[in-house]
């Protein structure tokens, strides 16, 4: 198989972990006789420094002609004082919009080998295996107006939560599709007791559910969901919610198992290439120190092999290699118990490659 | 001292726990020689059933002529299918708006006597002592438009996040005032990398901070806050944030210590009476079963004595009684370890009263 993969390392540890993922993908290509063409593009702060914009046209063009996009991370204190429209994060928001990446898919999984680092009690977190599906191109993030105003003589500000019903429908449908291939349960999260958009969300979920009689649909209020994730995370199979709620809840979910540095994500679109990225950010505090955990990025690459290229066996090979290395006790700093030895980013990549 | 207290039991367990709080307040009045006049009003589903509206005018009038308001809880499945404007929750939103309750103050405290029921590991949660200050009358909850529309021929929906700068300022100022009487640290939570309202929020926090050189101000993105609350909750002293973020984060924070059934809250205004309520909701599943934990409501009454009436000694008497009863091993069902004995609502009230 021959595939074109756009690599957008971005900022901070994004550079290091991207390198790790490419190393592993090259090993997979050799082993399974595929050809992966890697082309590099700039995004985020790196792109601002070089081209004055967080998402240059040529990066976007590169993505559009690629079969999949692997992104490291964007952002850092260096660009925090920039005006809104040329901040690194704008690059991320724009690429989502331009590629039509309407659903962000984040599996959260418990790894028994690193159970010791979860902030939750073992009885609570053991066996957690859920996916958060977050709407990614609508809601509060993109609605207009989003601006300062003066109302009745008072300095004021407005942001807008806007959805077309078909945007709500397609992401909920994606969640149901996913649930049919998992444990068959969708938890739709909203704030229907306050927001009109949430009431439309809930109605739409009910409508979509009719097409999936074998899937169980539950509704949960977002404040309750924030509690239930901690009290009883095992109850969730697929959790689907709007952009802003999803930003908060997916990050909350990602720390439950203690494996933030190990969690991949996929952002899917209707037509174009999908985008894969680790959940952790650019981690400026450890950037360039060869200390980041490359596993989230490597597992993102595995998700790419499975979802974009249909290479199930190859994806599993990577996932198994990661599991084996963890079972054997190898750790990067973020997942090592206090006072125990750990590997560098490159060291971890080498161990995974060696399997 | 002579005070008028409006009691709004509301729905579900609200009725039972209100009764408990009144019992304790009567005992305090006797002991310390005060006169508390209790007048009852309807709100939520109970008000819908009797008067067809979740907040009748006479309830509002009662609150306005009272020195403080004690509220149980509102809502329940019975009213879930009602149209938006006559749902129980509307009563709560309306009373907040009408009484100008701009800040909701929620202390989250670790009780060593019930450490066993926290979902978090002891090392993480031990010693947690924070207050969440949530803006309560602005943001996404009240902004207009909030309605269905048709845009470019597509069924759509819009909600609006609106703030006047002075609304942002007063709640942040409240948080700083609180911090001066605590450990002197304010964490202001926003999503300034995406929302214009959050950028105004952050600027305003910086401005207010100038008046409190002895208080340390940190900014934190809401997604990161959702993680930090679980990973390292002890880092927080006073956390201040906007209405919707506050709804999610304060509920998240409230389960960390396992003591949701024990957490009180106060909602403060510029002029009128303050409103006190437990954080737990109406808990329809155990309503009327004499099984609810009355402690959150009783501690809400203690907050009222302190904040509204300046009765510090009386407030402490209640808080100490609660601590003693817990230390002695008394539990209601929600805070009993699995398989150990527990008291009824009334049983717990009696024990606290007896101290
Ligand atoms: C960087 C930021 C704009 C982004 C978001 O909020 O979507 C990030 O937090 C994420 O979750 O991918
Ligand atoms: C009932 C609901 C409207 C309310 C809110 O979201 O404000 C509740 O969740 C709360 O936090 O007091």
pTM of the model: 0.96
For chain B, the domain total comes to 2
pLDDT of residue A352: 94
pLDDT of residue B82: 83
**Are residues B39 and B115 part of one domain?**
no
pLDDT of residue A225: 98
Print the domain residue range for B55: 1-99+272-355
Distance from CA of B320 to the nearest CA of A (A): 28
- pLDDT at B142 exceeding the cut of 90: yes
pLDDT of residue B138: 97
**Are residues B216 and B280 part of one domain?**
no
The catalytic residue among B3, B67, B190, B191 is B191
Q: Which residues of chain B does A162 touch, with a Cβ-Cβ cutoff of 8 Å?
A: 156-158
pLDDT of residue A338: 84
**Are residues B72 and B19 part of one domain?**
yes
Mean pLDDT, residues B9-30: 97
* H-only helix segments in chain A: 13-32, 45-51, 57-64, 88-98, 122-125, 165-180, 196-209, 222-231, 243-256, 295-307, 312-327, 345-354
- pLDDT at B115 exceeding the cut of 90: no
User: What's the N-to-C CA distance of chain B in angstroms?
Assistant: 22
Mean pLDDT, residues A230-255: 97
pLDDT band at B10 (very low <50, low <70, confident <90, very high): very high
Q: Do B195 and A163 touch (CB under 8 A)?
A: no
pLDDT of residue A84: 72
| Lateral strand order in the sheet of B154-164 | A139-151, A154-164, B154-164, B139-151
Mean of all residue pLDDT scores within chain B: 96
CB contact at 8 A, A267 and A103: yes
pLDDT band at A81 (very low <50, low <70, confident <90, very high): confident
Measure CB to CB from residue A195 to each of B120, B140, B194 and give the nearest one.
Answer: B140
Tokens 């809104």 label which residue?
A84
Question: Has residue A56 been placed in a domain?
Answer: yes
Catalytically active residues of A are 141, 191, 223, 247, 251
Pocket of ligand 1 (CB under 6 A): A 89, 92-93, 247; B 193-194, 223
**Are residues B291 and B242 part of one domain?**
no
Question: Has residue B147 been placed in a domain?
Answer: no
**Are residues B203 and B164 part of one domain?**
yes
Question: Has residue A35 been placed in a domain?
Answer: yes
Distance from CA of B94 to the nearest CA of A (A): 12
Mean pLDDT, residues A312-322: 97
Which has the closest alpha carbon to A298: A268, A276, A275, A272?
A276
Residue B296, Cβ density class (10 Å: 0-12 exposed, 13-18 middle, ≥19 buried) = buried
Q: Which atom of ligand 2 is nearest to the CA of B251?
A: 11
pLDDT band at B61 (very low <50, low <70, confident <90, very high): very high
What is the chain B residue with the closest CA to A229?
B252
Question: Has residue A156 been placed in a domain?
Answer: no
pLDDT of residue B338: 85
Q: Do A154 and B160 touch (CB under 8 A)?
A: no
* SS3 call for A13: helix
SS3 helix, strand, coil % of chain B, rounded to 5?
Answer: 45, 25, 25
Strand partners of residue B221 = B190
Q: How far apart are CA A176 and CA B76, in angstroms?
A: 28
Q: How far apart are CA A53 and CA A86, in angstroms?
A: 6
pLDDT band at A115 (very low <50, low <70, confident <90, very high): confident
Mean pLDDT, residues A312-336: 95
Residue A278, token pair as written in the block: 């680790």
pLDDT of residue A259: 81
Question: Has residue B94 been placed in a domain?
Answer: yes
Question: Has residue B263 been placed in a domain?
Answer: no
pLDDT band at A82 (very low <50, low <70, confident <90, very high): confident
pLDDT of residue A83: 80
pLDDT band at B190 (very low <50, low <70, confident <90, very high): very high
Half-sphere exposure of B334 (CA within 13 A, CB side): 22
Pocket of ligand 2 (CB under 6 A): A 193-194, 223; B 89, 92-93, 247
Question: Has residue A355 been placed in a domain?
Answer: yes
**Are residues B326 and B290 part of one domain?**
yes
Distance from CA of A302 to the nearest CA of B (A): 25
Which has the closest alpha carbon to A129: A112, A141, A113?
A112
pLDDT band at A10 (very low <50, low <70, confident <90, very high): very high
Is B218 noted as a catalytic residue in this protein? Answer: no
Q: Give the range among A116-120, A229-233, B27-31, B177-181 with minimum mean pLDDT.
A: A116-120
Mean pLDDT, residues A127-143: 97
Question: Has residue B120 been placed in a domain?
Answer: yes
Q: Look up the CATH number of the domain holding residue B90.
A: 3.40.718.10
- pLDDT at B84 exceeding the cut of 80: no
pLDDT band at B258 (very low <50, low <70, confident <90, very high): confident
> Any idea what the Cα angle at residue A152 is, between residues A151 and A154, rounded to 5°?
65
Which ligand is nearest to the Cα of residue B222, counting in written order? 1
Q: How far apart are CA A236 and CA A253, in angstroms?
A: 10
Q: Do A255 and B158 touch (CB under 8 A)?
A: no
Q: Which residues of chain B does A118 touch, with a Cβ-Cβ cutoff of 8 Å?
A: 121
Among B258, B283, B299, where does a domain finish?
Answer: B258
pLDDT of residue B333: 94
pLDDT band at A355 (very low <50, low <70, confident <90, very high): confident
pLDDT of residue A86: 86
User: Tens digit of pLDDT for each residue in A162-179?
Assistant: 999 999 999 999 999 999
User: Tens digit of pLDDT for each residue in A25-35?
Assistant: 999 999 999 99
Q: Give the range among B63-67, B113-117, B216-220 with minimum mean pLDDT.
A: B113-117
**Are residues B346 and B310 part of one domain?**
yes
* H-only helix segments in chain B: 13-32, 45-51, 57-64, 88-98, 122-125, 165-180, 196-209, 222-231, 243-256, 295-307, 312-327, 345-354
Which ligand is nearest to the Cα of residue B280, counting in written order? 2
Which ligand is nearest to the Cα of residue B139, counting in written order? 2
pLDDT of residue A110: 92
């Amino acid at each position: 198989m021959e595939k074109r993969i756009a690599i957008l390392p971005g900022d901070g540890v994004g550079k290091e972990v991207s390198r790790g993922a490419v190393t592993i993908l090259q090993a997979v290509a050799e082993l399974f006789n595929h050809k992966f063409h890697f082309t590099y593009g700039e995004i985020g702060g790196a792109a601002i420094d070089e081209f004055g914009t967080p998402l240059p046209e040529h990066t976007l063009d590169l993505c559009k002609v690629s079969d999949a996009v692997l992104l490291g991370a964007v952002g850092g204190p260096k660009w925090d004082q920039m005006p809104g429209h040329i901040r690194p994060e704008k690059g991320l928001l724009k690429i989502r919009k331009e590629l039509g990446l309407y659903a962000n898919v984040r599996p959260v999984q418990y790894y028994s080998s690193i159970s010791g680092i979860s902030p939750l009690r073992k009885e609570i977190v053991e066996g957690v295996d859920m996916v958060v599906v977050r709407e990614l191109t609508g809601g509060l993030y993109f609605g207009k107006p989003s601006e300062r105003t003066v109302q009745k003589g008072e300095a004021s500000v407005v942001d807008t939560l806007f959805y077309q019903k078909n945007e709500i429908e397609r992401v909920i449908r994606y969640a149901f599709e996913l649930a049919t291939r998992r444990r068959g349960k969708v938890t739709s999260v909203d704030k229907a007791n306050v927001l009109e958009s949430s009431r439309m969300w809930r109605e739409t979920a009910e409508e979509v559910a009719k097409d999936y009689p074998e899937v169980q649909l539950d509704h949960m209020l977002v404040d309750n969901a924030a509690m239930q994730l901690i009290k009883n995370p095992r109850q969730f199979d697929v959790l689907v919610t709007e952009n802003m709620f999803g930003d908060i809840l997916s990050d909350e979910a990602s720390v439950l198992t203690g494996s933030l540095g190990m969690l991949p994500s996929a952002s899917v679109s209707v037509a174009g290439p999908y985008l894969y990225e680790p959940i952790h950010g650019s981690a400026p505090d450890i950037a360039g120190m060869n200390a980041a955990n490359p596993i989230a990025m490597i597992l993102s690459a595995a998700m790419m092999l499975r979802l974009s290229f249909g290479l199930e066996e190859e994806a599993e090979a990577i996932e198994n290699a990661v599991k084996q290395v963890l079972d054997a006790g190898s750790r990067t700093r973020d997942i090592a118990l206090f006072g125990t030895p750990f590997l560098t980013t490159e060291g971890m990549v080498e161990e995974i490659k060696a399997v």
